Amino acid sequence: MINKWNRNSIYFRLVMLLIIALACSGAFFALSDRLVGLVFGEAVWDSFQESQNERNFEEFQKYVTDNRLSSGDSNALTRWVRQHRDLEMEIYKNYALIYDSMDPGYSGRQEEEEFYYTWQSNYVITFKDGRAQLVLYGFYVHRMEIMLILLRVASTFVLFLLIFLLGIRSEIRYIAELSREVAILESGDLTYPITVKGKDELSFLASSIESMRLGIRVEMRKNRETTDAFRDVITEMSHDLRTPLTSLLLYAEILENARYEDADQWKRYVRAIHEKGSLIKELSDNIFAYSLERGTGQEGSAEETVSFRELLYDPVSEAAEYLGSQGFTVTLKGDFPEGRVRVRQGYIGRILENIVSNAVKYADPADPVVFETGRSGEMLCISVTNTCRKNTEGEESTGIGLDNIRGMMEKMGGSARTALNGKTFAIKLLFSMIS
């Protein structure tokens, strides 16, 4: 939080701006007073006063002549004076006051003589009943001085306002810019950055909004990644669940139709049904756990170290027997080299289930499916090769099975490579040896 008396604080800058604006305005007001005094000197005001009195005298004389007024027609005289708000007058006859516009009822009650001063603006006015002395008191200069004061005050206020607005124009522009950018964020576009400039309270606010924007983006990305990962895992497990289920149904159909050769083969089929059922239960348990905890499931499969032969001998034999029951010829090549590998429980069965399922769907039964084991550099490997059928246009592949195989091999520290050479498809599984 910024201290309000910090030199970068808006509060401090506004106070200083007000002081500067007041000082400049005060100086302008004082300077304008001096300038008015120089321009409108005493001689100017006297000349203005005299010209106004002359004009009013001529107008009054015309009024008296046109209306044939006598010096005693106080009501008519008062009506004319009331039409001239910046003027008062007195009328003397034989140096005696006979009319005063400030007290019209004064006329006729004065018994003693009163004299006007020679320095006053006086004129000889001709009435119907004779001549009289007219004294005019004009307030023209006073009125003009008031107007000039009001003009100076208004100019000073405009100058103060102009200095203040010019001083805060950058803050106003910044606020408008932030408002526009926040409106963009409100529309849902979190990719638009918030402008952060300066070191005041507005900058602190903009920085907080920008941090919030970035935090929301990170949180949304994490949620999106979590959702995508959850969907991918569920898709992979659902695909792997379908493969052993197909094998289980096939074995059950063989037993139901008594298509086994002897009791030993019957027992192998029963054991295979039990293994497929256990694998299905494991996969369904993983799906359930992953859907509840968003992160357990297959990631939690325990690792173990086994010999390469022990790992693959039975699954490969079972895969070969299953393919044989589907009308395929299986060729086994190579031997199982010595070495131990680290694997996750259940992965090997799922990997071979996917390979066998793809072979049943896309391989040509006229050519053998070849399983070959051996070494590839420092890795132990097994490859499966088959010839693709000619007419597979109606059987669209999602690629989920191969993606699952690659993912499981990577989690075990190995890799899966695929190749399609003409009509020949091959997949090679490589395992890292444990010394």
Residue 411 has pLDDT above 80, yes or no: yes
Residue 277 CA to its chain's centroid (Å): 53
pLDDT digits (tens, 9 = 90+) for 267-298: 887 887 887 787 777 777 766 666 655 544 44
CATH number, domain 303-435: 3.30.565.10
Contacts of 241 by beta carbon, 8 Å cutoff, 6+ apart: 280, 283, 284, 287
**Section 183-196 average pLDDT:** 87
Lowest mean per-residue pLDDT among 160-164, 203-207, 289-293: 289-293
Mean per-residue pLDDT over the chain, rounded: 83
On whether the CB atoms of residues 319 and 355 are closer than 8 A, the answer is yes
C-alpha closest to that of 382 among 294, 284, 312, 320: 312
HEC sequence for 368-398? CEEEEEEEECCEEEEEEEEEECCCCCCCCCC
- Give start-end residues of each CATH 3.30.565.10 domain in the chain: 303-435
**Section 210-234 average pLDDT:** 84
H-run or E-run covering 343 = strand 340-344
- Predicted pLDDT of residue 296: 42
Distance CA 157, CA 163 (A): 10
pLDDT digits (tens, 9 = 90+) for 110-149: 444 444 444 457 889 999 989 999 998 888 878 888 888 9
